Amino acid sequence: MAAETSRTDHWPMEKVTGIGGFFFKAKDPKALSDWYQQHLGIMKIPESSDGEPWTQEKGVTAFAPFASDTKYFGRPTQQWMINFRVGNLDAMMAQLKRAGIAVEIEGEDQLGRFARLDDPEGNPIQLWEPKD
């Protein structure tokens, strides 16, 4: 509230334009980066200027803090869960299952269809196929 009341109405509010990175700790950062690239197509950060970074397609991004006692993320110590948009949830799930990765349908609602899996370090991933 303090930030809202200290803002003056004659200046437009500057807003962020999107997520520029998602950074988190890993026991084996290289192996985890390899896993995300191999199974989800998320390119690693380029090591040179001619490397190709991962780029997102334009779309909705939810930014939603959850209650500290939520069980939705899995284990009680888990502080985050990432949600990736996908174009074809069935194809993505089949690809992951062929690679021996457990993935389960989570459900469907007015926003689309959802599935759930964990990365090799136990971090929760939600896949989302938005409704058209």
User: Which pLDDT tens digit goes with each residue over 52-101?
Assistant: 999 999 998 999 999 999 999 999 999 999 999 999 999 999 999 999 99
Say if CB 41 and CB 87 are below 8 A apart: no
- Note the pLDDT of residue 8: 57
Give CA–CA dist 59/120, Å, rounded: 27
The answer, yes or no, to whether residue 16 has pLDDT greater than 90, is no
Reported pTM:
0.85
Give CA–CA dist 31/67, Å, rounded: 31
Structural domains present in the chain: 57-130 (3.10.180.10)
Q: Residue 14 to residues 6, 22, 59, 84: CA-CA distances in angstroms?
A: 14, 21, 20, 26
Planar angle of CA 111, 115, 117, nearest 5 degrees: 145
Give CA–CA dist 86/54, Å, rounded: 14
- Note the pLDDT of residue 4: 52
The answer, yes or no, to whether residue 28 has pLDDT greater than 80, is yes
For residue 4, give every residue at least 6 positions away whose Cβ sits within 8 Å of its Cβ, in sequence order, or none.
Answer: none
Give CA–CA dist 125/132, Å, rounded: 22
What would the DSSP string read from start to end of 66-114?
--TT-STTSSTT----EEEE-S-HHHHHHHHHHTT---EEEEEETTEEE
The answer, yes or no, to whether residue 2 has pLDDT greater than 60, is no
Say if CB 87 and CB 93 are below 8 A apart: no
- Note the pLDDT of residue 80: 94
